Structure 1
């Protein structure tokens, strides 16, 4: 029992913190602790230094990650899991690739090309072990918009209310150049690759952090609505005029759909309804049951595609019911061709949004798996991998590729360990490209539209997140609403830009109005807490302590000064005006003391949460010190970081100001000093 009591006493003592040290201002602490500012070096010096440290081997590993992880690949433990995962993902690639290729207004086989050529390159250069690269609905839709805008096809085009053949479309001077959809798509892919390589060279991988969760969520939901509306035509077997419009396309599409909604293809409607019901029942009932039994999901999309093809063949749906099919699918691999370089400057602006979206989606998914499974992702290397892969894909009839959330989740869930699963998937797709492709020529397009509709369920359900965003932050809720409305009503790329501007504006608004509060003292401690939140604090007589959080710059310096005056409840300018009226000394003193409740002699500003201060911000601190000094109130600062204190010293060196800033290490040091100074007076 004595031993236990001794341990309890020691624990009680350990919980009490006692500090016995001299009072420190910042300059004294720097002197006693031998502070030395780090030497700044030129960019060239840093590059040469890093090159000396890095060996050739490590440089190759950083550019070619496969050379590192493949040497450590545990074949006995991983290979079977990767084979199963690769087969499963390949099965998903077939229906998704063919369906999403239609979003890009390209032949369905293009989606399978995208799951083969770029994926092989990403295997060599990518750093994520679990993302499934290939077609992604939103990226394909954005590419399809560019393809529609700059290509000419045999279909009729609505211009000023008149249907014209592409060869009849002219501008004011010359005939418009005619490009095929594939030429435009490969030019887009090449340009996106160039943009991503440029971002890699400029080390702009961090730019993806500008796209917040709220922005990405709202953007993907708005884009999913575009995808949904684009599939109603095939889902119902409607014939819509082709419009070449850059903005408000969804509004025009809605008008066109309602204008012909009275005459759908009922056979296509029946096929679509049956396909959707079967796939939804699988997702809601069969998939949860199978998950308990085994990791292998039922490839319901592939079953729907194969079944639809067989029924179309044996019942001759195109001839008997005028159901539109996929059409000719060539066997073999496409011949490598150079992109149409004349198109690069034309599509460059549109490609910026595509490059950003494809990279951000891929990196977001890669980071999710990396955090879950505890390995590192190099954001800049991902830019390099995607850039090289897109450039290579542009020579083989590919659209810009990206990671797919559904395929990536399946690849990891069924046991995929590395990108070896992608090689297995590519091998199976190669067999399909060489021999099996023509089998799917009779596949009804309404079946592929049904696959897309069911796959959109997860994206459309993101609308539920608005409630959470709004409760967490009204600004985040506004960013979501602005992004969605602009994407849906105007266009996808303009919506992304509007969302980004709104998101940055919210950050700017928060930085312009930082958090400032009054602190009170916790008796018998050296703790100082917000008096509006902690009722057990007391206000020290004659001293006002303020806490500042955020940055201090030219944009918010006026707001900071206004908040200081309001919280301290003493305006130096008003006090000076009262003095100027030559009121009797006794009357003036009584008025001054009455307005401040006690004899205010010191203002302390806690800058421990100040993360940045520019010269204008530090200049505002000098102005505050000077203003309050003129009415005999001292202003001290506490808790500055080393970098902020260096900025203060630099400002003092070049500023002709007799009122230097006095900075203490902690608030308690500043309070102790202020009480001693007031006692001495």
Structure 2
């Protein structure tokens, strides 16, 4: 297809002229008549609806079109909640019923305050693992073992009876309360952007490493081993060292049950489920089926007594009584809670954004902080772990047609039945069955290891962030892994910031296009003029980078140039006094050859200048004065309004002879007229508009 032509006729604009001609106005403070301040009833109603989103979307709910789909999705997700809740409760070193509580109480609060319509909130493997580490570190382990993580551990009075400080459930609820408090604090200060600190690269490396740690924590269950508890860092190494030392004590019955469970689960996921999905969107609930058969087989064949197979033991019925979290623990768990707060929020908001983009609606990052924070604080009174979004459940909820948060209410209704009537029937369930279900469920997260090769191809910095986060998380620990990942990400940003993209621009013949002369062979430099393009920030840290790159590309050193010109004047004065000699002629010619006679003007293309601070403006003043001394003016072009205002406030245009133009082409045309520049060759028409 032939290239379309564009022709524009307009005056040549300097920035200040552009402002005057097109009625530029500065931002004004909002008043009560046009703002959302609380004295405006309509605005107040809007604020209330934005704070409690259910008041906005529920009256608009399409009951006939969406309710049945939400009910089906809710039942499906509830079926997934049961095995995951029980398994992740144990993963958190807590009674298995805690996982069900976490899928019930906080989710009800998220239903009221959350803005995502499709994510499934509740237990999440990484968050449960992180909570479990805090539980192991701060709870009294002998009592924890004595209770066999059964229902009695919910009763803090037993802890007092045997003279211990904290039970596992007390530690977990303190962590949950603290996580919620952090999230609410972030919401108050509008810090929803903190998730941006966790890049996709960092999250991929962190969650992949966390999946490896979750897998490691379940190996002992699959083999039927009882390993010593390790508190502190390097748990990954210690765990496998203990496993290899005790490998001869493997319980073969437990191993057989685990292998059968894993094989059945894998066959369903890899073969049966894809074929069944073509017939029905309702997935086969293989996990709950395995739990039912595992519990029944363990009951009839008495696995626990006959083969020493660890089972869940007691599962209480009903809802727990609300209990105030142990406030004396808050100071101890602050670091762990802060890490869980960031991870839980980042994972949840990332999943929410994925589904929001697919279904073309918006979610509010700060409102999500409120929903998560309120849910965690509320859940901490009811024996819950911190909750977050689950990718596997969210994907199922979306695929079976869930439309709104009504899905969560339906799911909670089903779980309520489980809590009151069905829970005790799972008491004989072998723990190795749950461990096997967890291991198979980790496949998606473990396969993220492929992301490393994708990231390293795109950017060495991204590859380094992924690798540092992954290795530190696995080898040292989750909290330091996240910390080192954030530090590495920020360092990579700083390194890239200190390497701004700079180039000299040339004109594409017969157009107003100016492109990098090193990348476009058709771009021709204009004789007597240097077009310097700068892409990045200009602040106190980067001003020397800017200076060195400018001098390198323009191939001029103002100090040396000024020295040459002063020396030339001195020789000329000597010639006037004493006449021209061979020696003065030789020196004159030598100095003259070093002076840049061809450069008439420098234009700084700041169309890609991200920001500038007073230090950057000060450096521009220095450059302008230096070049003015050697009769080479500096023009700027393409400034954004914030950058222009900063330069104007700092007096750049008043205190120097820098002129600023709306576009690069305006500056080029003005320079051509002011200095009588004549283009040659392919660009003979560059100044035809002047």
TM-score with structure 1 length normalisation?
A: 0.91
1:229 CA drift (Å): 0.5
Query: How many pairs are equivalent?
Result: 649
Hey, what does 1:673 align to over in structure 2?
670
1:47 CA drift (Å): 8.2
CA-to-aligned-CA distance 1:294-316 (integer Å, 9 cap, x gap) = 10111111111111111111111
Hey, what does 2:444 align to over in structure 1?
458
1:408 aligns with 2:405: no
In the superposition, relative to structure 1, how do residues 118 and 345 fare at CA in structure 2: closer, same or farther (>3 Å)? Answer: same
1:66 aligns with 2:54: yes
The correspondence of residues 235-634 of structure 1 with structure 2, limited to 5 A, is 235-245=222-232, 247-579=233-565, 584=571, 599-634=598-633
1:154 CA drift (Å): 2.2
Hey, what does 2:171 align to over in structure 1?
184
CA-to-aligned-CA distance 1:45-101 (integer Å, 9 cap, x gap) = 998746537434323211211122111111111111111111111111111111111
Moved more, 663-672 or 16-25: 16-25
The correspondence of residues 655-670 of structure 1 with structure 2, limited to 5 A, is 658-670=655-667
Hey, what does 2:115 align to over in structure 1?
127
Q: Any stretches of 5+ residues in structure 1 without a counterpart?
A: 1-7, 158-174
Q: Any stretches of 5+ residues in structure 2 without a counterpart?
A: 146-161, 573-584, 679-690
1:31 CA drift (Å): 2.6
1-structure distance, mates of 2:658, 2:484: 42
User: Does the aligned pair in 2 maintain the 1:513–1:556 contact within 8 Å?
Assistant: no
Query: Which of residues 203, 209, 228 is equivalent to 2:215?
Result: 228
Hey, what does 2:683 align to over in structure 1?
none
| 3-state DSSP of counterpart to 1:262 | helix
1:610 CA drift (Å): 1.0
In the superposition, relative to structure 1, how do residues 27 and 401 fare at CA in structure 2: closer, same or farther (>3 Å)? Answer: same
Hey, what does 1:163 align to over in structure 2?
none
1:217 aligns with 2:216: no
In the superposition, relative to structure 1, how do residues 633 and 376 fare at CA in structure 2: closer, same or farther (>3 Å)? Answer: same
2-structure distance, mates of 1:144, 1:596: 72
Hey, what does 1:644 align to over in structure 2?
643
User: Does the aligned pair in 2 maintain the 1:569–1:596 contact within 8 Å?
Assistant: no
User: Does the aligned pair in 2 maintain the 1:570–1:596 contact within 8 Å?
Assistant: no
1-structure distance, mates of 2:277, 2:387: 29
User: Does the aligned pair in 1 maintain the 2:37–2:44 contact within 8 Å?
Assistant: no
User: Does the aligned pair in 2 maintain the 1:324–1:444 contact within 8 Å?
Assistant: yes
Hey, what does 1:172 align to over in structure 2?
none
In the superposition, relative to structure 1, how do residues 88 and 593 fare at CA in structure 2: closer, same or farther (>3 Å)? Answer: farther
1:439 CA drift (Å): 0.6
Query: Which of residues 132, 135, 160 is equivalent to 1:147?
Result: 135
In the superposition, relative to structure 1, how do residues 40 and 645 fare at CA in structure 2: closer, same or farther (>3 Å)? Answer: farther
CA RMSD in angstroms, aligned pairs only: 2.4
CA-to-aligned-CA distance 1:246-290 (integer Å, 9 cap, x gap) = x21212212111111122111111110110011111111001101
User: Does the aligned pair in 1 maintain the 2:503–2:533 contact within 8 Å?
Assistant: yes
User: Does the aligned pair in 2 maintain the 1:520–1:528 contact within 8 Å?
Assistant: yes
User: Does the aligned pair in 2 maintain the 1:25–1:664 contact within 8 Å?
Assistant: yes
User: Does the aligned pair in 2 maintain the 1:223–1:488 contact within 8 Å?
Assistant: yes
TM-score with structure 2 length normalisation?
A: 0.90
User: Does the aligned pair in 2 maintain the 1:607–1:637 contact within 8 Å?
Assistant: yes
| 3-state DSSP of counterpart to 1:516 | strand
Hey, what does 2:24 align to over in structure 1?
35
| 3-state DSSP of counterpart to 2:515 | strand
Hey, what does 1:105 align to over in structure 2?
93
Query: Which of residues 181, 185, 189 is equivalent to 1:202?
Result: 189
1-structure distance, mates of 2:34, 2:123: 40
| 3-state DSSP of counterpart to 2:466 | helix
In the superposition, relative to structure 1, how do residues 396 and 348 fare at CA in structure 2: closer, same or farther (>3 Å)? Answer: same
2-structure distance, mates of 1:181, 1:315: 31
User: Does the aligned pair in 1 maintain the 2:36–2:44 contact within 8 Å?
Assistant: no
In the superposition, relative to structure 1, how do residues 594 and 309 fare at CA in structure 2: closer, same or farther (>3 Å)? Answer: farther
In the superposition, relative to structure 1, how do residues 46 and 102 fare at CA in structure 2: closer, same or farther (>3 Å)? Answer: farther
In the superposition, relative to structure 1, how do residues 263 and 45 fare at CA in structure 2: closer, same or farther (>3 Å)? Answer: farther
User: Does the aligned pair in 2 maintain the 1:553–1:613 contact within 8 Å?
Assistant: yes
1:611 CA drift (Å): 2.0
1-structure distance, mates of 2:524, 2:29: 45
1:35 CA drift (Å): 2.5
CA-to-aligned-CA distance 1:488-537 (integer Å, 9 cap, x gap) = 11111111111111111211222222111100011111111111111111
2-structure distance, mates of 1:79, 1:152: 47
User: Does the aligned pair in 2 maintain the 1:236–1:268 contact within 8 Å?
Assistant: yes
2-structure distance, mates of 1:648, 1:428: 63
CA-to-aligned-CA distance 1:318-368 (integer Å, 9 cap, x gap) = 111111011111111111111111111111121001011111111111111
2-structure distance, mates of 1:55, 1:25: 41
2-structure distance, mates of 1:77, 1:594: 83
Hey, what does 2:8 align to over in structure 1?
19
1-structure distance, mates of 2:616, 2:456: 32
2-structure distance, mates of 1:115, 1:177: 29
